[in-house]
Amino acid sequence: MRDFLKYTLATIVGIILASFLISIFSVIIFSAIISMSDQPVQVKDNSMLIIRLQEKVVERTNKSPFSDLDMPGFSSSKQIGLNDILASIENAKTDDKIKGIYLNPSMINAGLASVEEIRNALIDFKESGKFIYAYGEALSQKAYYLVSVADKVVLNPRGIIEFKGLSAQRNFFKNALEKVGVEMQIVRHGKFKAAVEPYMLEKMSPENRLQTETYVGSIWKQLLLDISASRNLSLDELNDLADGVATFRGAEFLLEKGLVDTLKYKDQVINELKVMMDVKESKDIPAISIADYSEVPHIKKGKGFVREKIAVIYASGAIDMGGSDDQSIKSDKLSRTIRKARRDSTIKAIVLRINSPGGSAYGSEVIWREVQLASEVKPVVASMSDVAASGGYYIAAAADTIMADKTTITGSIGIFGVIPNAGELLNDKLGITQDVVNTNEHSDILSLTRPMNSFEKNLLQNFIERGYDIFVDRVTEGRNMSKEGFENIGEGRVWAAENAKEIGLVDLYGGVNDAIELAAEMAGIEEYRTTALPVLKDPLEELLKDLSGSARMWMLEKELGEYAPIYQQLKEVKETRGVLARIPYDIQID
């Protein structure tokens, strides 16, 4: 009887607690829905636009009102779209209420090409004659690259600037796999296709080291060229500072060497800004964040409603390799979007915005086909973001023109397959045996518990070779190249945009806005509006998706912490099917 009462009481308490949580949860949801109908954000006169870039920078903003909620069941990381950042800077240029821009970043969660586009937008903003004022306390290399464009760069007297050069590091798993009894059977084409090297080698191959040194060196050179132009420092001076690790030299040293203009505390910065903006000392500076400013309706001057459109079609993430729709490219969905844009008579040109390391070779072919068909009836411009490599380049190959930022990573024209053999792990290490009944000689091909025989290896190698030949055909036909000597371009080699342009893989430098202008010029139209595709889901749809997928990821992040992304990568591997056209690794250059 005592146990019965104990369990009954526990059940009642549980029901009450659950009801209480559901009530709070409902209030939050209802408040978020109500907020969707709030009045537009207003900009005060004599305002300053603040750019901190604390959020993760993605290709375009998720407009769901639930995206910023930090609680179980919802995505916890705040995001802002590069599209909104660029549009806000462009609008601020002609907005009489905005007197200048205040840059105050620290660690920027964005790729280098995205930062480059923001930086170029700020350079364009300076033509308005309005000020750009930057202040930092601890600036990463990306953050300094961005703020170096400012009219005035101010550092806290105890502040630091990370300035040490770029580093690309690789992990190799060959020895660990051997210890647990797993053999990774590799089938690939391309001596530079280094995605499989972590399973084969203990360090980089000479080819992989060469390509890594080339593209990392090219990107570093571009960063230095841009900083040199803004700060009037020579490349030699900047390299000397990096060699000496300016990060830990102190603020006075950074001032002496010309990386910053002056040293001030935050209160002194605020006072200086008040003087610049003619704000009384007793008053606060009218300011607006870039996230809020992006919500302000901006009326562009024109001839009324414009029917003709430029479609900007976003292709972000790995191709057909798991993940939610906003984290990966679903080939069927994206190809359908391109097909609809091709058939829409009001869409006069297409900009295919690519930020992808590649993925499924088959999925890449499906998308490539629709890009090719679209290019036969209207101009198609491929706009490369941080990375457009392997399958990401595959889908760009049929475009009329390919544009890239100077810090974009591209190329990696090659394919591979990896078939693990865990027979030793299961049989010898764990004592798990397997018996098989086949109807035909190779019915259990690609088994995870036995090695491939010579027939099967040759069969798969020939399959890979045919896939690579098709990939090369797509590129050489789209780029009007000869196959002769293509091994110097292909073979899975990764290129920085500077080198890719030299060898003909890229036509022009420029960001997404440059690509839109070029597409309009190619279409012969002056008055147009842009439409972003695929259409983002309704916020309530996003809520339902968050409740199912994000709640699970939230729990995993709480348990796994910094190892949660590794789980996501393993999940992608588990869901991967077929041969891959993917960049060697998730490139993160620090």
Give me the residue label for tokens 């709640």.
551
Set 47, 331, 390, 447: catalytic member: 390
Residue 409 lies in a domain: yes
Arithmetic mean of pLDDT, 426-437: 86
Residues 373 and 452 reside in one and the same domain? yes
Q: Reduced to 3 states, what is the DSSP secondary structure of residue 380?
A: strand
Instruction: Say if CB 420 and CB 414 are below 8 A apart.
Output: no
Residue 272 reports pLDDT greater than 50: yes
Residue 205, in any domain of the structure: no
With a cut of 60, say whether residue 18 has pLDDT above it. no
Same domain, 361 and 396: yes
> Is residue 390 flagged as an active site residue?
yes
> What pLDDT does residue 84 have?
96
Whole-angstrom distance, CA of residue 225 vs CA of residue 543: 45
How many of the other CB atoms lie within 10 Å of CB of 481?
Answer: 16
Tell me the pLDDT tens digit for each residue of 351-360. 999 999 999 9
Tens of pLDDT, residues 286-307: 999 999 999 998 766 555 578 9
Query: Rounded to an integer, what distance in angstroms lies between the CA atom of residue 507 and that of residue 497?
Result: 10
Determine what percent of the chain is predicted with pLDDT higher than 90: 62
Mean pLDDT is lowest, of 38-42, 208-212, 520-524, for: 38-42
Average pLDDT over residues 459-486: 93
* Assigned domain for 258 exists: yes
Instruction: Report the alpha-carbon distance of residue 239 to residue 245 in Å, rounded.
Output: 10
Helices 112-125/512-523 angle, 10° precision: 70
* pLDDT of 70 higher than 80: no
Across the beta sheet with 358-360, the strand order is 183-189, 415-421, 580-582, 358-360, 318-319, 328-329
Domain limit, last residue, from 293, 318, 353:
293
pLDDT: which is higher, 8 or 400: 400
- Measure CA 587 to chain center: 10
Task: State the pLDDT confidence band at 76, using cuts at 50, 70 and 90.
Answer: very low
Model pLDDT for residues 405-419, shown as the tens digit of each residue: 999 999 999 888 888
Does residue 528 share a domain with residue 475?
Answer: yes
Look at the alpha carbons of 173, 175, 176, 181 in this order and tell me if their dihedral is positive or negative. Answer: positive
* pLDDT number for residue 324: 56
Same domain, 362 and 507: yes
Q: Domain range for residue 124?
A: 47-164+245-293
Asked if residue 520 is part of any domain, the answer here is yes
Contact 403, 506 (CB under 8 A): yes
| CATH number of domain containing 507 | 3.90.226.10
pLDDT at 498 exceeding the cut of 70: yes
CA–CA dist 423, 482 (Å, integer): 45
Does residue 586 carry a pLDDT above 90? no
Residue 159: Cβ within 10 Å count: 19
Tally the domains of the chain. Answer: 3
Chain segment 84-100, per-residue pLDDT in tens: 999 999 999 999 999 99
**Given 234, 258, 293, which residue is the final one in a domain?**
293
Q: Which two tokens stand for residue 528?
A: 């147009």
Q: Quick one: pLDDT at residue 75?
A: 45
Q: Quick one: pLDDT at residue 31?
A: 57
Residue whose token pair is 């191959």 = 205
Provide CB contacts within 8 A for 312, sequence distance 6+.
Answer: 83, 351, 353, 512, 516, 530, 531, 532, 533
Q: Give the span between the Cα atoms of 516 and 343, in whole angstroms.
A: 19
> What pLDDT, on a 0 to 100 scale, did the predictor assign at position 74?
47
For residues 285 and 389, membership in a common domain is answered with no
SS3 content of the chain, % helix, strand, coil (to 5): 45, 20, 35
What would the 3-class secondary structure string for 169-206 be? CCCCCHHHHHHHCCEEEEEEECCCCHHHHHHHCCCCCH
Cβ atoms of 429 and 483 closer than 8 Å: no
Using DSSP's 3-state secondary structure scheme, residue 358 falls into: strand
20 and 114 share one domain: no
Q: Are 285 and 314 in the same domain? A: no
Higher pLDDT, 575 or 429: 429
Tokens for 576, please give them.
Answer: 């991967």
Is 513 inside any structural domain?
Answer: yes
* 230 assigned to active site: no
DSSP 236: H
Q: Return the ∠ at Cα 356 (arms to 309 and 559), rounded to 5°.
A: 120
Determine, yes or no, domain membership for 147.
yes
Domain identity same for 343 and 258: no
One DSSP character per residue, 42-92 reads P--TTEEEEE---SEEESS----TTTT--STTS--S-EEEHHHHHHHHHHH
Task: Summarize pLDDT for 441-462 with one digit per residue, the tens.
Answer: 999 898 888 899 999 999 999 9
Q: Tell me, what's the pLDDT at 284?
A: 95
Mean pLDDT of 155-184: 91
Q: What per-residue confidence (pLDDT) applies to 421?
A: 87
Q: Distances in Å between the alpha carbon of 93 and those of 3, 126, 128?
A: 72, 8, 6
In a domain, 217, yes or no: no
The residue annotated as part of the active site, out of 193, 257, 348, 501, is 193
C-alpha–C-alpha distance, residues 537 and 543, integer Å: 10
The radius of gyration of the chain's CA atoms, rounded to the nearest angstrom, is 27
pLDDT in tens, 174-228: 888 888 888 888 888 877 777 788 888 899 999 889 999 999 999 999 999 999 9
Closest Cα to residue 505, out of 419, 388, 420? 388
Three-state SS for 527?
Answer: coil
Q: 97 with 154, same domain?
A: yes
Phi then psi dihedrals of residue 132, to 5 deg: -125, 115
Q: Compute the distance between CA of residue 542 and CA of residue 61 in angstroms, rounded to an integer.
A: 13
Q: Which of 36-45, 64-73, 375-384, 513-522 has the lowest mean pLDDT?
A: 64-73
DSSP 96: T
Q: In 433-470, which positions are buried (b, 16+ CB within 10 angstroms) versus exposed (e)?
A: eeeeeeeeeeeebebebeebeeebeeebeeebeebbeb
Residue 22's pLDDT band, with cuts at 50, 70 and 90, is low
The reply to whether 17 falls in a domain is: yes
Q: Are 59 and 353 in contact (CB under 8 A)?
A: yes
| Pick from 73-77, 105-109, 271-275, 440-444: least confident | 73-77
Can you name the residues that pair with 508 across neighbouring β-strands? 403
pLDDT tier for residue 528 given thresholds of 50, 70 and 90: very high
Reported pTM:
0.84
Per-residue model confidence (pLDDT) at position 561: 59
Same domain, 30 and 144: no
Same domain as 355, residue 260: no
Q: Counting Cβ atoms within 10 Å, is residue 153 exposed (0-12), middle (13-18) or buried (19+)? A: buried
What is the structure's pLDDT at 94?
95
Q: What is the pLDDT of residue 179?
A: 87
- pLDDT interval class at 432 (50, 70, 90): confident
The reply to whether 260 and 356 lie within a common domain is: no
Task: Quote the CA–CA distance of 583 and 590 in Å, as a whole number.
Answer: 18
**DSSP strand pairing (380-389 vs 401-404):** parallel
Given a cut of 90, is residue 10 above it in pLDDT? no
Give the percent of the chain with pLDDT over 70: 79
